[in-house]
Amino acid sequence: MTDTQQRVAMGYIKGVFGIKGWVKVSASTEYSDSLLDYPEWLLSKDGNTLTVSVEAGKVAGDELQVKFEGIDDRDRAFALRGYTIEIPREAFAPAEEGEYYWADLVGMSVVNRDGIVFGQVKNLLETGANDVLVVEGAYGQKLIPFVSQYVGEVDHDSRTINVDWGLDY
């Protein structure tokens, strides 16, 4: 079993579809069908974890509909409602040069050019124009646009993001 620190939540099962075991999925990925790139999912809820294999999947409107192997009726599918979908981090494809998985950025320390540690990345926001780092620490919450104008080096080894951002911004 994969350590929970190495699993990334990618959405949840929000309901059932039809009578043959299909579920409706709310994906927290850029493209909902990208979850179908992973043949096995870990489902977790209330301390329980199940491993399921994706048999089939399709996008219908703005939702993802998925059929798991061995889940063949509405009742068994309904029992999965509310489970969080997790994917082992090691299953992710390598990020392209200059691109990052949000899951890798969360928890990193953010330091400006003057050596002031703002805190840690708690989340990222998608604004449409660009992503924004949500940083919390001793100086409160800072919202820093994740663009090259403000973000310098992202050092995976030291888990640090260097930014050109002032305390008074």
Q: What is the CATH number of the domain that holds 136?
A: 2.30.30.240
Tally of domains within the chain: 2
* Strand, coil or helix: 91: helix
Nearest by Cα to 38 from 22, 53, 21? 53
pTM over the 0.85 mark: no
Q: 43 with 80: CB under 8 angstroms?
A: yes
Q: How far apart are CA 120 and CA 134, in angstroms?
A: 8
The residue among 66, 91, 116 that closes a domain is 91
Q: Do β-strands 63-68 and 22-27 pair in parallel, antiparallel, or remain unpaired? A: antiparallel
In a domain, 33, yes or no: yes
CA distances from 24 to 38, 44, 96, 142 (A): 17, 16, 30, 35
pLDDT of residue 28: 84
Q: Note the pLDDT of residue 5.
A: 54
Tokens of 153: 């080096």
Distance CA 53, CA 21 (A): 13
In a domain, 96, yes or no: no
Domain span including residue 48: 4-91
**Domain boundary pick from 44, 64, 91:** 91
* Count of CA atoms in the C-beta half-sphere (13 A) of 42: 17
- Considering the domain architecture, whether residues 74 and 117 belong to the same structural domain is answered as no
Burial group, residue 154, by CB count within 10 angstroms (0-12, 13-18, 19+): middle
115 in the same domain as 36? no
Question: Going residue by residue through the chain (169 aa), what tens digit of pLDDT does each one get?
Answer: 444 458 999 999 999 999 999 999 999 887 889 999 999 999 999 999 999 999 999 999 878 999 999 999 999 999 999 999 999 988 998 888 888 888 899 999 999 999 999 999 999 998 888 999 999 999 999 999 999 999 999 998 999 999 999 988 8
Residue 83 carries which DSSP code?
P
pLDDT at 47: 93
13 plus 86 within the same structural domain: yes
The confidence score (pLDDT) of residue 1 equals: 42
Same domain (yes/no): 59, 106: no
